[in-house]
Amino acid sequence: MREWILVNAEERAKENPANFEMPPKEARMGLKPRTLVKLIFQFKDADSNNKEIEAERMWVEIIENNGDDYLGTLDNDPEVIKRLKSGDKIEFKPENIIAIWED
């Protein structure tokens, strides 16, 4: 059972547009494999895990683009979410992306 969910960054940005920046929707669509994107992994029940840390922001490398869906692998080991590790497969959508790695 997963202890986390992916945050819908579009909704989060609408709630707090002055303090939540993210790439425009066009930039988050059609990304190619090997692109690194940052996602927010939030505890399903933040109160039962750690009252100070509700989420982790982590990089994921895209391995497949299936239209409106992406499949990627986690690119780092989480500090707090213990059931995830580098290399784990993550399914996500463009609305989950908060940053795109720029060389």
Q: Where are the domains of the chain?
A: 4-100
0.95 cut: is pTM over it? no
Q: Would you say 75 and 62 are in contact if contact means Cβ atoms under 8 Å apart?
A: no
Share of the chain above pLDDT 90, in %: 69
In this predicted structure, the answer to whether residue 51 has a pLDDT above a threshold of 80 is no
> What's the whole-number mean pLDDT along residues 20-31?
93
> What's the whole-number mean pLDDT along residues 83-89?
95
- Residue 19's pLDDT is 86
Burial of 16 (0-12, 13-18, 19+ CB in 10 A): exposed
Nearest to 35 by CA among 93, 99, 84: 99
- Residue 46's pLDDT is 52
